[in-house]
Chain A
């Protein structure tokens, strides 16, 4: 596919990119051609979307069906007080349009489900995960694996965050965590709280990884789980290995299509009682 050309306005806007030898005009054209899907226009999706839009990623998809709540504004920097009670996707479109009107923002104002995930993911090159619950995390993982799309993952809890990149054929979220915790065992940010600035760090790391993947630069976080602790102000990392026994990306996968992820997350152990998962929106 031929890359789009840069307009005179692009050349002005992206000057600081264009003078980096590793980016240059070709790199900026790759960014302009790129289509990136963000799951969630919240804590992680906000900084990721803003920086990807500023960097000139041509098409940004946003999956979110929530409305802006005053309690979001402590960290979700896409949104503003004047948008309380209104659609997060519309708020994001407005903010991104103001920042960089050349970016096409496509809103997907629906919950991500097994029925729509493949359709929503299909047109995009890279998926950025910023969701707040385990069913969506496994759903996004499996859809990305089945569609051979890179998944740039991030998660946060109080003062700690994690980020990694899952590349097709190189391991996935199920290789890292084969099963979710039982409902209630691991509290969400809504229940446990999160330092409002923390998703800024992790979401920006996700955005950098996306840009590196688009430009084909450097070493991605593939195979490494980056751990950030704001209290120690330290980064560490552990290895992420592909599990040959992984049910979705292993040598003999048993999952060939999307499953019921609420059921999967509600019944992690066969012997445990069956109870409906409670998903909490932040």
Chain B
């Protein structure tokens, strides 16, 4: 059951630059495991040593954040689109919170 998984630029370094992948599995966790076997290092881009998804990375099944579903056990079905969205800070300006400013 192929599922489309969209990956952000920061994860594309382990996917050979591919921005959209095809994975199989019945849950988000199984999709990640499947992609990790296709693209070694994929899982560690999203999860810490204890297996938890980094708190600055959100995973969506269609338009819903899996944190508000069954987290990594959220089920997926044919035709679903899974999106991985890490926090993005860029805004092209510079007012910093504390004044530590490297140029």
The residues of A with any CB-CB pair to B shorter than 8 Å are 39-45, 63-66, 72, 75-76, 110-114, 129-139, 154-158, 160, 162, 176-181, 185-189, 192, 194, 199, 225, 227, 231, 236-239, 241, 243, 260-262, 265, 268-269, 276-282
Q: Which residues of B lie under 8 Å from residue A282 when comparing CB positions?
A: 90, 92-94
Give 15 pairs: A residue, B residue, CB < 8 Å, sorted on A. Answer: A111-B95, A112-B95, A134-B87, A155-B88, A189-B90, A189-B91, A192-B9, A194-B90, A231-B19, A238-B60, A238-B83, A239-B63, A239-B64, A265-B97, A280-B102
User: A156 to B91, Cβ gap below 8 A?
Assistant: yes
B68 to chain A, nearest CB (A): 5
The residues of B with any CB-CB pair to A shorter than 8 Å are 8-10, 19, 48, 54-56, 58, 60, 63-65, 67-68, 83, 85-103
Q: Which residues of A lie under 8 Å from residue B8 when comparing CB positions?
A: 160
Specify the chain A residue showing the minimal Cβ separation from B100.
A279
Q: Which residues of B lie under 8 Å from residue A199 when comparing CB positions?
A: 91-92
Q: Which residues of B lie under 8 Å from residue A265 when comparing CB positions?
A: 97
User: B65 to A133, Cβ gap below 8 A?
Assistant: no
Q: Which residues of B lie under 8 Å from residue A139 when comparing CB positions?
A: 97
Q: A132-B89, A139-B97, A186-B56 are in contact. Are A157 and B63 (CB under 8 A)?
A: no
Q: Which residues of B lie under 8 Å from residue A138 when comparing CB positions?
A: 97
User: A136 to B87, Cβ gap below 8 A?
Assistant: no
User: A177 to B64, Cβ gap below 8 A?
Assistant: no
User: B54 to A181, Cβ gap below 8 A?
Assistant: yes
Q: A227-B85, A238-B63, A262-B100 are in contact. Are A157 and B93 (CB under 8 A)?
A: no
Q: How far does the alpha carbon of A187 sit from the alpha carbon of B10 in the complex, in Å? A: 9
Q: Which residues of B lie under 8 Å from residue A187 when comparing CB positions?
A: 10
Specify the chain A residue showing the minimal Cβ separation from B67.
A243
User: B102 to A278, Cβ gap below 8 A?
Assistant: yes
Q: Which residues of B lie under 8 Å from residue A154 when comparing CB positions?
A: 91
Q: Which residues of B lie under 8 Å from residue A160 when comparing CB positions?
A: 8-9, 88
Q: A157-B88, A238-B65, A268-B56 are in contact. Are A64 and B97 (CB under 8 A)?
A: no
Q: A186-B87, A268-B55 are in contact. Are A39 and B95 (CB under 8 A)?
A: yes
Q: How far does the alpha carbon of A45 sit from the alpha carbon of B103 in the complex, in Å? A: 20
Specify the chain B residue showing the minimal Cβ separation from A114.
B97
Specify the chain B residue showing the minimal Cβ separation from A42.
B93
Q: Which residues of A lie under 8 Å from residue B68 when comparing CB positions?
A: 241
Specify the chain B residue showing the minimal Cβ separation from A278.
B102
**Out of B56, B64, B100, which one reaches A238, CB within 8 Å?**
B64
Q: Which residues of B lie under 8 Å from residue A114 when comparing CB positions?
A: 97
Q: Which residues of A lie under 8 Å from residue B90 when comparing CB positions?
A: 43, 132, 155-157, 188-189, 192, 194, 282
Specify the chain A residue showing the minimal Cβ separation from B56.
A181
User: A158 to B96, Cβ gap below 8 A?
Assistant: no
User: A179 to B100, Cβ gap below 8 A?
Assistant: no
Q: A157-B9, A186-B10 are in contact. Are A261 and B98 (CB under 8 A)?
A: yes
Q: How far does the alpha carbon of A180 sit from the alpha carbon of B89 in the complex, in Å? A: 9
User: A137 to B89, Cβ gap below 8 A?
Assistant: yes
**Out of B48, B86, B89, B97, which one reaches A111, CB within 8 Å?**
B97
Q: Which residues of A lie under 8 Å from residue B65 when comparing CB positions?
A: 238-239, 241
B52 to chain A, nearest CB (A): 10
What are the nearest 5 A-B pairs in CB distance?
Answer: A43-B92, A40-B93, A42-B93, A135-B97, A281-B94
Q: How far does the alpha carbon of A274 sit from the alpha carbon of B99 in the complex, in Å? A: 18
User: B95 to A186, Cβ gap below 8 A?
Assistant: no
